[in-house]
Structure 1
Amino acid sequence: MSVNDKIDQLKGAVKEEVGKLTGDKKTEHEGLAEKVTSKAKEVAEGVKDAVEGTVNGVKNIINENKDDVAEKVNTFANNVKDAVEGTVDGIKNIVNKDKE
Structure 2
Amino acid sequence: EKINYTWRVIMKYLKICSDILLWGGRMFIIVLLGLIILLNFIAVPTNSWFSIFRTEIVGVSNILIIIAPFLLIIGQAIKKIYIELTKINNKLN
What TM-score do the two structures reach when normalised by structure 1?
0.41
TM-score, normalised with respect to structure 2: 0.43
Larger Rg: 1
